[in-house]
Amino acid sequence: MDALHISNSLTRQKEKFEPINPPFVGMYVCGPTVYSNVHLGNVRTFLTFDIVYRYLQHLGFKVRYVRNITDVGHLTGDTDDGEDKIGKKARLENLEPMEVVQRYTNDFHDVMNVFNILRPSIEPTATGHIVEQIESIKKIIDNGYAYEVNGSVYFSVRKFSDDHPYGELSGRKIDELMNNTRDLDGQSEKRDPLDFALWKAADSSHLMQWPSPWGMGFPGWHLECSVMSTKYLGETFDIHGGGMDLKFPHHECEIAQNVGANGVERPVRYWMHGNMLTVNGRKMAKSEGNGFTPEELITGNHKLLDKGYTPMTVRFFMLMGHYASTLDFSNEALQAAEKGLAKLEKAVDTLNRLAPTSGEGNFDANAFGEKCHAAMNDDFNTPILIATLFEGVKAINGAAAGLVALTAQDIATLQATFQAFMRDVLGLQAESTSNAGGGDESETGALLDLIVDMRTTAKANKDWGTADKIRDVLSAHGITIQDGKDGSSWSRG
């Protein structure tokens, strides 16, 4: 494809991407609720939109990427008097709610860094936008789509659906929803089970609460995303992303709120949903007890893991599947990713030392680069991109083996393409396996050259014992010796 196409969840079509105000692009992604450590499934979603962000920038768009932090707890249960998650955690650990928020926000940021996921342009918090949320509720009430009961405000879905479509994104119909709504525990003040809260009254035991025209309380969960996306990206903007599990009710309610407050019929042009990471076919989730943290993954300290894996291995593993498909976690898949990534890294290294042919080249480096673009243009198809990169690997290794001829220009093009797609777009950075802190690179390199040289002498003398000992010891330190026709060389990893 010669232009970027995106699968739009709203229309269920693959559509050509045309920003509202090129070269600017506005993108909003639902961030985490910071009441616990993020697990790997969460990471997958943020990785998905990291790729979108990176590729849009690669294409030259000026992207304003907004990803919120949900730091209001919301309710643990379905009842009107449920405790909020952050408040509950604060009580359990004897902390201020904001201490809980800060702790898990820090954790979230650390994890994002470890996986080389870029920071958004703006990272707004729900608590920082209480005023805007209250203003938004007033507008919705004024427009006739919300009502107040005992200090709480609810959105009237039925009233809204008389004037506007509701359920378009998730493909739900009001009548079906009616029949399938579960009976709530406790009585609800809602006039209709389909209604959702914009503002909840809080009693004195509730730790996080703010004054409002309706009394002390806190905002409903869906509202913050509507308000913050509108504030920073406008009443209509280009891309809204999030996990598949947020499609309903969260995103559906967001649309209703935006339309209800601002009257804009289609606030978001392209809706994108990342699919779930599964374990043994089931969604990774805290409640399932099958989730593990990035730290457990890296150390391998978890019953589901045979060993630890590096962050880049995990990143590569996730990118080997398309974001819109479920991806099943398994040790074998991780191991395959580990080896595949090592092969890729090794080829990049080989590429940098490759001697160009003096004659004609027989590899079309330009076509290779275009193929990489085509893969990403087709709805960010990272598995195809990776498969294409391996075609480049084959050419590089073929050149090293003397089977493929690459001109200096070909090599330069290959280097630029690997830099652009492997490093910049896929965000796969080289992981140093050397024991850091042991002097500078060139010094170590000179020593290794000397050792390899000594081993070559030993080999020439058929002193296999010495030669093998050098190889084994270096290997134990992560240095691999390669013997070729024209002598030996070393590499890390």
Partner RNA sequence: GGUCCGAUGGCCGAGUGGCUAGGCUCAGCUCUGCAAAAGCUGCUACAGCGGUUCGAAUCCGCUUCGGACCUCCA
Which positions from 457 through 476 interact with RNA, judged by CB under 7 A?
459, 464, 467-468, 471
- The reply to whether 326 sits near RNA by the rule CB under 7 A is yes
Report in angstroms the alpha-carbon separations of 69 from 31, 88, 423.
5, 18, 27
**Residue of 143, 310, 330, 362 that binds RNA (CB under 7 A):** 330
- The reply to whether 386 sits near RNA by the rule CB under 7 A is yes
**Residue of 64, 88, 322, 373 that binds RNA (CB under 7 A):** 322
- The reply to whether 493 sits near RNA by the rule CB under 7 A is no
Phi, psi (rounded to 5 degrees) for 33: -90, 120
Restricting to residues 347-366, name those near RNA by CB under 7 A. none
| Min dist. Cβ of residue 36 to RNA (A) | 8
Report in angstroms the alpha-carbon separations of 53 from 26, 49, 63, 376.
10, 6, 7, 12
Report in angstroms the alpha-carbon separations of 396 from 347, 348, 385, 393, 447.
6, 8, 17, 5, 28
Q: Which is nearer to RNA, 176 or 306 (CB)?
A: 176
Q: What gap in Å lies between CA 73 and CA 219, rounded to an integer?
A: 10
Q: Which is nearer to RNA, 96 or 176 (CB)?
A: 176
| Min dist. Cβ of residue 271 to RNA (A) | 12
**Residue of 243, 361, 369, 427 that binds RNA (CB under 7 A):** 243
**Residue of 401, 436, 440, 476 that binds RNA (CB under 7 A):** 401
Q: Which is nearer to RNA, 37 or 230 (CB)?
A: 37
| Min dist. Cβ of residue 470 to RNA (A) | 9
- Cα-based torsion angle of the residue sequence 43, 47, 53, 55 in order, rounded to the nearest 10 degrees: 180
Tokens 């140093």, residue? 432
Interacting stretch for RNA, rule CB under 7 A, among 90-98, 206-214, 284-292, 434-442? 284-292
Q: Which is nearer to RNA, 260 or 321 (CB)?
A: 321
251's CB contacts (< 8 A; 6+ apart) are 169, 170, 240, 242, 271
| Min dist. Cβ of residue 204 to RNA (A) | 23
- The reply to whether 283 sits near RNA by the rule CB under 7 A is yes
Tokens, residue 31: 């961030």
Restricting to residues 285-304, name those near RNA by CB under 7 A. 285, 287
**Residue of 381, 414, 417, 425 that binds RNA (CB under 7 A):** 381
Q: What gap in Å lies between CA 331 and CA 329, rounded to an integer?
A: 7
Nearest to 363 by CA among 417, 420, 421: 417
The 3-state DSSP class for residue 193 equals coil
| Min dist. Cβ of residue 43 to RNA (A) | 8
Q: What gap in Å lies between CA 361 and CA 406, rounded to an integer?
A: 5
Buried b (16+ CB within 10 A) or exposed e, 338-350: bebbeebbbbbee
**Residue of 120, 340, 369, 392 that binds RNA (CB under 7 A):** 340
Q: Which is nearer to RNA, 30 or 117 (CB)?
A: 30
| Min dist. Cβ of residue 21 to RNA (A) | 27
Q: Which is nearer to RNA, 141 or 246 (CB)?
A: 246
Restricting to residues 60-79, name those near RNA by CB under 7 A. 70, 74-75, 78
Alpha helices in 144-292 (DSSP H): 157-163, 174-180, 221-233, 252-262
Rg (CA), the chain: 27
Q: What character string, x for contact with RNA (CB under 7 A) and - otherwise, covers 220-239?
A: -x------------------
| Min dist. Cβ of residue 431 to RNA (A) | 16
Q: Which is nearer to RNA, 304 or 336 (CB)?
A: 336
Q: What character string, x for contact with RNA (CB under 7 A) and - otherwise, covers 108-147?
A: ----------------------------------------
Helix (H) or strand (E) holding 27: strand 24-29
| Min dist. Cβ of residue 323 to RNA (A) | 8
**Residue of 83, 210, 236, 248 that binds RNA (CB under 7 A):** 248
Please list the residues that pair with 219 across neighbouring strands.
Answer: 199
- The reply to whether 390 sits near RNA by the rule CB under 7 A is yes
Restricting to residues 76-105, name those near RNA by CB under 7 A. 78, 85
369's CB contacts (< 8 A; 6+ apart) are 413, 416, 417, 420
Q: What gap in Å lies between CA 119 and CA 115, rounded to an integer?
A: 11
Judge whether 23 and 340 are in contact, CB under 8 Å: no
Binding residues for RNA, total number by CB under 7 A: 86
Q: What character string, x for contact with RNA (CB under 7 A) and - otherwise, covers 142-181?
A: ----------------------------xxx---xx-xxx
Q: What character string, x for contact with RNA (CB under 7 A) and - otherwise, covers 8-47?
A: ----------------------xxxx-------xx-xx--
| Min dist. Cβ of residue 62 to RNA (A) | 25
- The reply to whether 482 sits near RNA by the rule CB under 7 A is yes
Q: Enter the DSSP assignment of 286.
A: G
Interacting stretch for RNA, rule CB under 7 A, among 97-105, 123-131, 146-154, 269-277? 269-277
Report in angstroms the alpha-carbon separations of 72 from 138, 151, 244, 249, 306.
20, 18, 22, 18, 37
Q: What gap in Å lies between CA 469 and CA 427, rounded to an integer?
A: 37
